[in-house]
Structure 1
Amino acid sequence: MGICGSRPKVSEDLATSNKKNKNNHNHNHRSNRRRRRILRKRISSRKIEANLAHSNAALQASNRASDAAWFDSTSALDSECDDEFYSVFDEVSAGHADDIGEDRRVAPDHWGILQNNCLPCLSSNALAVEKRPSSPDKPSSQRKSLSKPSFKLREGSLDMTLHSPRAIRQKPLAGSLIPCCLIEKQTPGSWSQIDPSSFRVRGKNYLRDKKKEFAANTAAFYPFGADLFLSSRKVDHIARFVQIPAINIPGDIPPILIVNIQIPLYPASFFQSEYDGEGMNVVLYFKLSENYSKDQDLPDQFRESISKLVNDEVERVKGFPLDSIAPFRERLKILGKVANVENLPLSMPEKKLMNTYNEKPTLSRPQHEFFSGENYLEVDLDVHRFSYIARKGFEGFMERLKLCNLDFALTIQGHKAEELPEHILCAIRLNKIDYNNFNHIGF
């Protein structure tokens, strides 16, 4: 009985132990699988961290290289392109490292960034790069270096002239602001070619009888354009800021003559210390006559005087008690007149002043400056530096300029008998120019 009663107990123990072993085996198998998964994740995370560390090291090296080149003016654009290129590549590799893994990288060529054409591509990618969130694993210094090029390019996309040294401001074409018309039409706000014979100059016997006569109907220069610029300060050598046409005429005389009349628009002051302020520049453009060297009406003495004027020669001037040396350019003389005085609404005192000083010539010295270019000679006539009386009379007449037809000419004053009669250097008419119709232009 005892033996028979003990056998079932042993079998039950064996069954129980086998069941426990089986359960333990299954548990151990699941534990091993879980352990292998953890190890695989640790290895993959370590690889990713190693890849990130490698990319961060490359980024720091590139930033150091770009910082070194930042102070190089000749490679400023290239350094900005390099910074933007690495910021795009590193941003993608950091934000998608868990998805693409170690063996899948975004190639630089996939972004369309070319070595010699980086600014157009970067300007289109700058906003997209800035919208991506920065990786939390990156230090703040790297995030700052990544955002700096994108900020500059975003600002530059609004006005590339602020950042691109290759951008050049567009210059206005010389003579494009005031249109031309026939002198018979006299269209307001235009200019016209006028006959040189309409001006009175010193006659051949002026040294004896002091009489003036109408000039010969020929000039050395003829007009081809006019401009009017308003500015907060007077502008010297205005030919630098306009497109001068390419005119080449053989000879020693520049083919283009530019006259820049600087007129103040601020009140005249008796105790004036500074001769500058808001004003306008009436710019007149003249072209050398095609028959200049062959024109029989232009004597050789007059052409010689023009050469002395252009070459800034000097001459001896007789005086008491000693002679002096003076620049030949001090002989330049302004001829101006209002052609339609009878049609102007003037009071009796104003009419007397107009009849007295109209067509009164005046030497441009010392309120003139000369500037030479490749194919032009510019003469700046500074009305800002005129005397107080002349400035005051001109100031009271400014509002009537839009009603006047102004005839303007230049000549070279003759001092000797062989230099007479005087001849016209250039001449033009301005038809009722209203400066209020023009905008301020900053040079």
Structure 2
Amino acid sequence: MGACVSRPESCVGGKFGAQKRKKFRKRRRITAIKNRATSSRSSDRSSDQLENAFPSDGSFNNPSLYGSVEEAWFDSAAIFESDCCSDEEFQSVSDDARSLDGFETEHVHVPGNSSASCNSTCNSVTGIAKTRIQPNSSVHPKDADSGQRNEVKPVFLSETSLSCLPCLASTVPPVEKRRSSSSSPRKKAALKLPFKWKDGNSNSGLVSSKSLLQRPNAGSQVPVCPFEKRIPNSWSRIEAGSFRIRGENYFRDKKKEFAPNYAAYYPIGVDVFLSQRKINHIAQLVELPVIESSANLPPILVVNVQIPLYPATLFQNETDGEGISFVLYFKLSDSYAKELPYHFQDGIRKLINDEMEKAKGFPIDNIVPYRERLKILGRVANVDDLPLSAAERKLMHAYNEKPVLSRPQHEFYVGENYFEIDLDMHRFSYISRKGFEAFLDRLKYCILDFGLTIQANKSEELPEQMLCCIRLNEIDYENYQQLGLNQEPLE
């Protein structure tokens, strides 16, 4: 009933099984001896024999991909990259790695995770790499290990993967490779901004190089020209009816109409001044004309448009510095009492006297200055003639002739025979400043139409009326002088 433990040769399969095992051991010892002999011969090959082993076009056939596991260790090109290597650590190997014969390598993955084959592979390829000499080097292969490191340029293998087939890396360490790839020109180009940042004030030398003007005559800097002609650095009278304002039925249909063809004030002169800082109440620093008038309104209206020349800052910590003052002078119309409706004449008086009014708000009504109704009307008359990009031209057409309330970037001054309005662009928002800053160098090509009105907030105040309007023809601010500030103002 017991089982046969000794397995005599007379048992079925006993004798023939022992013979097969002996033959298998003998064949395995012969194969191991051949492998060791072939490995030693391959490590002693010269560089010429190694170059002949690879095709000149950088392509090769990997025997391991065809199932020959025993010959996989001999294919040096097959161990350039392994599946077990970290893709993150050697992400740029495909761009930097070079084969032993100087050609770019391909990514070939070798199957198998045997530690014995990995160790034999590392030893064989390391031996080849130690004896590799550059083709243009004058050093003999025997002197490769004699200390002449400046002329010998070996190909280093990765020292990070010790438990897998190694990856062929360049002489640049992985950290430096990641830094160089992150600072590539292609990635830098993607980080360019839609506008150009300035490191400093490009116009700082412009203002300081200009001579000082001490109390010039008002309107003596820019000449006048007829409306039909186009003369650079001049100004022209423009019809008030060319501006669109709130019509008589605006609160019902929200439509704007052309203004009546008359205004309260008409232009008489223009000045352009450069300055180290913005100039407030500029009427005290110029000689205004003497105009006698028996009207209840000031005979002269002065509009001072203050434009900055220094770069805009995001947090609005700079609201003063070098800039330009476009000073516009207007005279009260002789027929204003007949042409202008009474509610608009009363609005001008409230604007000058700085009266307060009740404005509807939530949850309660607020008391606000009447001067907050002042509205700027501006447009570029020759948009199609300007050197603009497609995006800039689209924005220009979208926002051209859009009215803007001047609050809170305005100041008002009342003199003996004048009323001054200062429009401070130094305090405009960052987006507005950056947009105008990018457009500043093309200001000399623009034909600008400028006007002021008082916004109507009630139906009985409609239609709106024009307070003043003027055209500026291609003003180049670099042609003008600096206004002296160290002078006694007129009393």
TM-score, normalization by structure 1 = 0.61
Aligned to 1:362: 404
Structure in which a larger fraction of residues adopt helix: 1
Taking only aligned residues, the RMSD between alpha carbons, in angstroms, comes to 1.0
Aligned to 1:212: 256
Letter aligned with residue 249 of structure 1 = S
Q: Does 1:384 align with 2:426?
A: yes
Task: State the number of aligned residues.
Answer: 273
Q: Does 1:224 align with 2:268?
A: yes
5 Å-filtered alignment, 1:163-182, equals 170-182=214-226
Letter aligned with residue 337 of structure 1 = R
What is the alpha-carbon distance in structure 1 between the residues aligned to residue 297 and residue 352 of structure 2?
A: 7
Aligned to 2:158: none
Aligned to 2:449: 407
5 Å-filtered alignment, 1:35-54, equals none
Aligned to 1:308: 350
Q: CA 1:432–1:208 in 2, change beyond 3 Å: closer, same or farther?
A: same
Deviations 1:85-108 (A, max 9, x none): xxxxxxxxxxxxxxxxxxxxxxxx
> What is the CA distance between 1:319 and its match in structure 2?
1.1
Partner SS state of residue 482, structure 2: coil
Deviations 1:93-133 (A, max 9, x none): xxxxxxxxxxxxxxxxxxxxxxxxxxxxxxxxxxxxxxxxx
Letter aligned with residue 263 of structure 2 = A
Deviations 1:16-75 (A, max 9, x none): xxxxxxxxxxxxxxxxxxxxxxxxxxxxxxxxxxxxxxxxxxxxxxxxxxxxxxxxxxxx
Contact 2:316 2:427 in 1 (8 A): no
Letter aligned with residue 276 of structure 2 = S
Contact 2:409 2:427 in 1 (8 A): yes
> What is the CA distance between 1:309 and its match in structure 2?
0.7
Aligned to 2:103: none
* Residue segments in structure 2 that go unaligned for 5+ positions in a row: 1-212, 486-491
> What is the CA distance between 1:311 and its match in structure 2?
1.1
5 Å-filtered alignment, 1:96-175, equals 170-175=214-219
Q: CA 1:171–1:442 in 2, change beyond 3 Å: closer, same or farther?
A: closer
What is the alpha-carbon distance in structure 1 between the residues aligned to residue 244 and residue 403 of structure 2?
A: 9
Letter aligned with residue 307 of structure 2 = I
> What is the CA distance between 1:344 and its match in structure 2?
1.0
Q: Does 1:255 align with 2:290?
A: no
What is the alpha-carbon distance in structure 2 between the residues aligned to residue 170 and residue 401 of structure 1?
A: 26
Deviations 1:283-325 (A, max 9, x none): 0000000111122xx1111111111111111100111111110
5 Å-filtered alignment, 1:318-333, equals 318-333=360-375
Q: 1:421 aligns with which of 454, 463, 470?
A: 463
What is the alpha-carbon distance in structure 1 between the residues aligned to residue 446 and residue 214 of structure 2?
A: 33
What is the alpha-carbon distance in structure 1 between the residues aligned to residue 374 and residue 483 of structure 2?
A: 29
What is the alpha-carbon distance in structure 1 between the residues aligned to residue 344 and residue 249 of structure 2?
A: 16
> What is the CA distance between 1:170 and its match in structure 2?
4.9
Letter aligned with residue 291 of structure 1 = S
Q: Does 1:349 align with 2:391?
A: yes
Deviations 1:205-231 (A, max 9, x none): 111111101101000000000000000
> What is the CA distance between 1:272 and its match in structure 2?
2.9
What is the alpha-carbon distance in structure 2 between the residues aligned to residue 293 and residue 357 of structure 1?
A: 34
> What is the CA distance between 1:415 and its match in structure 2?
0.4
What is the alpha-carbon distance in structure 2 between the residues aligned to residue 420 and residue 362 of structure 1?
A: 18
Partner SS state of residue 293, structure 1: helix
Partner SS state of residue 294, structure 1: helix
Letter aligned with residue 394 of structure 1 = F
Aligned to 2:325: 281
> What is the CA distance between 1:273 and its match in structure 2?
1.1
What is the alpha-carbon distance in structure 2 between the residues aligned to residue 411 and residue 170 of structure 1?
A: 32
Q: Does 1:335 align with 2:380?
A: no
5 Å-filtered alignment, 1:168-207, equals 170-207=214-251
Partner SS state of residue 437, structure 2: helix
Q: 2:335 aligns with which of 291, 310, 320?
A: 291
Partner SS state of residue 371, structure 2: helix
What is the alpha-carbon distance in structure 1 between the residues aligned to residue 293 and residue 220 of structure 2?
A: 22
Deviations 1:340-366 (A, max 9, x none): 111112111001110111101000000
Partner SS state of residue 290, structure 2: coil
* Residue segments in structure 1 that go unaligned for 5+ positions in a row: 1-168
> What is the CA distance between 1:251 and its match in structure 2?
1.9
What is the alpha-carbon distance in structure 1 between the residues aligned to residue 215 and residue 310 of structure 2?
A: 27
What is the alpha-carbon distance in structure 2 between the residues aligned to residue 441 and residue 329 of structure 1?
A: 28
What is the alpha-carbon distance in structure 1 between the residues aligned to residue 454 and residue 481 of structure 2?
A: 34
5 Å-filtered alignment, 1:388-399, equals 388-399=430-441
Letter aligned with residue 481 of structure 2 = N
Q: Does 1:243 align with 2:287?
A: yes
> What is the CA distance between 1:271 and its match in structure 2?
2.2
Contact 2:378 2:449 in 1 (8 A): yes
